[in-house]
A and B are shown apart, each in its own frame.
Chain A
Amino acid sequence: MFAYFAPPNFIDNLLLKLFSPETVNYVVWPFIQIGAVVTAIAVYALYATYAERKISAFMQARLGPMRVGPWGLLQPLADAIKLLTKEDLVPDKADIYTFKFAPFISVAAAFIVFAVIPFAPDWGIITDVNIGLLFVLSISSVGVLALILAGWSSNSKYALMGALRSSAQMVSYEVSMGLSLIGALMFARTLSLSGVVSAQQSDAVWFVFYQPIGLLTFLISGIAENNRAPFDLPEAESELVAGFHTEYSGMRWSLFFMAEYAAMVVVSAIATTLYLGGWYFPGVFRLTEAQGYHTLYVIISLVVFLAKLTFLLYLYFWLRWTLPRFRYDQLMDIGWKWLIPTALVNIVMTAIAIFTVQAVDGWRGLKTIDRLLPSLNLTGTGKAIMIAFGIVGILITAGVLSTINWRARDFNLKKQRRNIRLVNLPKGKPAVAPATTEKA
């Protein structure tokens, strides 16, 4: 029965008749994988738009798309056809070549990242780069370039404002995004994404239990990085029409749209890989691989990965249709005054936790570390200590943040702050606001 789940071997044999083994392993298979992943992600992103429309409709007691196909299931395809056949407008006095090129950078930056993401073990990995995470972060920074180019070359004030906002936002949230990853990497002791997953597998725990703060910080910065609501300042409809893609139409606009959803999938995939165990799910290995069903193991792992990915994507939609948009200064506040301190506290706390676990190891017969190489494998006691540190870390982070931001409600306006100080004047004297010198 399970022979059905072994098509790769069959294809492998076929390919080996045509090419040499090296060509098959390093050229043909990667190309097949790339084609499969690009197609799958494109379809996934396409249907993410459908899911978003449906979920938003359900959350507002509506039905959503219903007309094209059963339950509107063919709506994304109809949209794609419509967008591809629309006129490709270029605004007057736009920087034509930059304008036309920017969407491709955006899409490429979103799609290249999938090269290093481990979707499943064995043939579910396209390439295992040992600096995978750095690669992901650097490529996702390139995405900002596309937005800036698009906004600048459109020769439109809305597009330019949107691009400015998005670049400021993405630059500031990238800091906390990068910092929040370090905690998880301390356990994995590698930057390779497959390495991170296998670290969680050999430890039989998802890093979210060690790193609740890390996951939260990463998700919030990831949502902000993707310019999604509630951080969708760059494309705030009520202020900026559509932000950086105001002047785009037809296919190029749909490329931006595609890139946005692909970037969401990227962030969800990295969060899954780092914190939710990637394709690892307890018991799957024991039930399939250990009993000889290798291909079944890979396919079930793939399904597990996609399920986690879809859950995080649902979280995106859920947040979008729950929260209103932040004000611009609040956005910057959250980035610099809340998320970066959180990420830093998380790093310190994780370092202290790991140090404690290492120090306690061997103390009065207490064994906390199973083995250290290649990843940090903890015994049951060690895991308990680490999870306790994670929970205590939440409270400590809360304390630190409230100490730093005890005046976060002042909105950072100098004038207002001066008046607030005046409230504590001695009694008996009327509190008089200082004469305004604005007119001078």
Chain B
Amino acid sequence: MPLVNVPKPAFMEKLKRFFMVDLLKGLRVTLKYNVGAITDKDAVAGHGIYTEQYPKVRPEVAPRFHGAPRLNMDPETHETLCIACNLCALACPEDCIDVLAMDIEITVAGKARRKKVLDEFIFDTSRCMFCALCQEACPTACLELTQEFELATYSRAGFVWNREMLEQGRETVKYEA
């Protein structure tokens, strides 16, 4: 059994205990936080309150955050930038991208040519791990993982995004602040 040596408190220690100095220190800390919360300044790192009012006020995600995929379009012609090169599908470690291409007949300088264009783009977000290797692989900066993070759906099928969803973005309910 260990021996307990209880030192007799010194006089100052006794005074400190009687006047509850430690209690006052604690009260000061809580008051500091309270005042900081009311004035929304300090208390630790600039904020007074850390709570996010999520559906009303959307949180700011980190700049390198990878979220919902998107197929970018040419801002002038509004045609897809995708050239159906299939590099993203090859780069994907989870194998969750399917690029379906088709050939169309076009006329280039009076001659009939065949061109491979994008028909359908399937992106399975349920298997995606948001590594953004597809984004790295894309030669035309078409496929991009955006900062959008609301990906939940009511069914598994809802996780599979088709070309329309990838181009237009999925509709989510927006709350007003």
- Chain B residue numbers with a CB within 8 Å of A319 are 27
Is B30's CB under 8 angstroms from A318's CB?
A: yes
* Cα distance, A57 to B50, chains bound together (Å): 10
For this complex, 27 residue pairs linking A to B, each with C-beta atoms less than 8 Å apart, are A57-B51, A58-B34, A58-B37, A58-B48, A59-B33, A59-B34, A59-B37, A60-B33, A61-B50, A61-B51, A62-B49, A62-B50, A66-B53, A318-B34, A319-B27, A322-B23, A322-B26, A398-B18, A401-B18, A402-B14, A406-B8, A410-B6, A419-B3, A420-B4, A422-B3, A423-B3, A433-B1
How many A-B pairs with Cβ below 8 Å?
73
**A84, B5: Cα distance in complex, Å:** 56
Report Cα–Cα, A93/B8, bound state, in Å.
Answer: 53
Q: Which residues of A contact B37 (CB under 8 A)?
A: 57-59, 61-62
Could you tell me the distance between the alpha carbons of A419 and B29 in the complex, rounded to whole angstroms? 38
Interface residues of B in 29-77 (CB under 8 A from A): 29-31, 33-34, 36-38, 43-44, 47-51, 53
Query: How close is A374's CB to chain B, nearest CB, in angstroms?
Result: 36
Q: How far is the CA of A407 from the CA of B49 in the complex (A)?
A: 43
The reply on A409 being an interface residue by CB < 8 A is yes
For residue B31, which residues in chain A have a CB less than 8 angstroms away from its CB?
A: 318
Residues of A within 8 A of B (CB): 55, 57-63, 66, 318-319, 321-323, 397-398, 401-402, 406-407, 409-410, 416, 419-420, 422-423, 431, 433, 436
Contact of B44 among A61, A410, A419, A422 (CB under 8 A): A61
For chain B, the count of residues having a C-beta within 8 Å of the partner chain is 29
Contacts of B141 in A (CB 8 A): none
Q: Enumerate chain A residues within 8 angstroms of B3, measured Cβ to Cβ.
A: 419-420, 422-423, 431, 433
Bound CA–CA A397/B65 (angstroms): 62
Q: Which of B120-162 contact A (CB under 8 A)?
A: none
Q: B15 on the interface (CB 8 Å rule)?
A: yes
- The answer, among B4, B15, B26, B51, for a CB contact under 8 Å with A419, is B4
Q: Is the CB of A420 within 8 A of B6?
A: yes
Q: How far is the CB of B86 from chain A (nearest CB, A)?
A: 49
A321, B30: Cβ atoms under 8 Å? Answer: yes
Expressed in whole angstroms, the minimum distance between the Cβ of A339 and any Cβ of chain B is 13
**Residues of the B chain whose Cβ atoms lie less than 8 Å from the Cβ of A61:** 33, 36-37, 43-44, 47-51
Residues of A within 8 A of B23 (CB): 322-323
- Is A318's CB under 8 angstroms from B27's CB? yes
* Residues in chain A near residue B6, CB distance under 8 A: 407, 409-410, 420
From A55, A322, A416, A431, B27 is in contact (CB under 8 Å) with A322
A75 CB to nearest chain B CB (Å): 15
A58 partner residues in chain B, CB cutoff 8 A: 33-34, 37-38, 48-49
Could you tell me the distance in whole angstroms from the C-beta of A409 to the nearest C-beta in chain B?
5
